Amino acid sequence: MAVITEASLRAMHKSGIPNPFLVEEGDKITPAAADFLKGRGIQVKQVDQSQQPSTNQAAEAVREIPLGVSNRHIHLSQADVEKLFGAGHQLTPMRDLSQPGQFACQETVTIVGPKGSIHGVRVLGPARGATQVEISRTDGFAVGVQAPVRMSGDIEGTPGMVLVTAKGTVVMDKGVIVAKSHVHMSPADAEQYQVKDGDTLILATQSDRPIIYPDVVVRVHPQFALDFHVDTDEGNAANLKTGDRVKVIGKNGQFYSF
C-alpha cells in the first residue's frame, strides 16, 4: 500500500505524471493530491490486479530522469585546500551545481600521474572529509592511472596521484576513481519511483546512439535533486549532453512490462 501525497506528485511533475495515474488496490490518495491531479486534468485509474504481473510492473509507467554529464573534477579535504591554496583558504563558489549546496569553484589544480598531467581540473565544493579525484577512463589512459569504477566516497584500495598548484603540492596515496553511474533522488522521488537507497535502475537513452545502462545505483538523501550522472566517456558514447533525459525501463535487474 502506498500513500500518494501532493509533495510526491510535485516531485514527479519534473519528469512527467502519467495520465491516467495508476493506483493499486489499497493505495491512499490524500485530498490535496487528488485536487492536484484533478486540477491538471489527470485521471486516476485503479489497476486491475487480475491482469497485472505480481511485481506490479505495469503500474510503473515510463518515466524520464534528467541527465548531467560530469567532467573530470576534484573534491578536496579542508587540509588539502590549505596545502594547495594557502593557510586558512576557503573555496570560492563560481556556479551552483544540480545538487543543492554543491558548487563549482574558481579554484583549479593540475593532476599528475606516471605518464602525464592534466591542467585546469575544476575543484568542486564544499570541502569534504577526504580528497577524491574523479576522472574518466580516457583521462586515466592519458595520465597513466588505472582508476577503478567506484561509488563516490569508496576510495579504499584505489590509486593516488599528485595535485599541483602555484602555491603547493599534495601527494595522494589513494582517492582516484572513475565514478559509477548513479541517480540522485530525494525521499519523495524515491517514493514515486518505488525504490530505496542502494537499489539499481535500468535506464535507456533517447539519443541517436541509444544505450541501455543496466545497473545505475540509486542514492537517496533529503538534500538531493533528481539527476542521473554519467562521465564524459559515457556521455560521448551515447551522444548525450547535460539536460537530456533518459527513460526508466526497469529496476533491480528486471525490465518493466508495459
Q: Which pLDDT belongs to residue 52?
A: 47
Q: pLDDT class for 47, splitting at 50, 70, 90?
A: low
Residues 4/32, Cβ–Cβ less than 8 Å: no
Rounded mean pLDDT of 11-31? 73
* Cis before 187? omega within 30: no
CB neighbour list of residue 75: distance below 8 Å, 6 or more residues apart: 123, 124, 127, 128, 130, 131, 132, 133, 134, 152
For 176-209, the pLDDT digits (tens) are 999 999 999 999 999 999 999 999 999 999 888 8
Q: Which three cell numbers stand for residue 163?
A: 595535485
Q: Which pLDDT belongs to residue 201?
A: 96
Domain ranges of the chain: 3-46, 70-179, 181-255
Q: What percent of the chain has pLDDT over 70?
A: 90
How far apart (Å, rounded) are the C-alpha atoms in residues 181 and 161? Answer: 23
Lowest mean pLDDT of 6-20, 74-88, 162-176, name the range.
6-20
* Level-2 CATH architecture, domain 181-255: Beta Barrel (2.40)
For 124-176, the pLDDT digits (tens) are 999 999 999 999 999 999 999 999 999 999 999 999 999 999 999 999 999 99
Alpha helix stretches (DSSP H) within 75-186: 78-85, 137-143
Residue 60, pLDDT > 70, answer no
How many Cβ atoms sit within 10 Å of the Cβ of residue 258? Answer: 9
Sign for the CA dihedral angle at 182, 186, 188, 191 comes to: positive
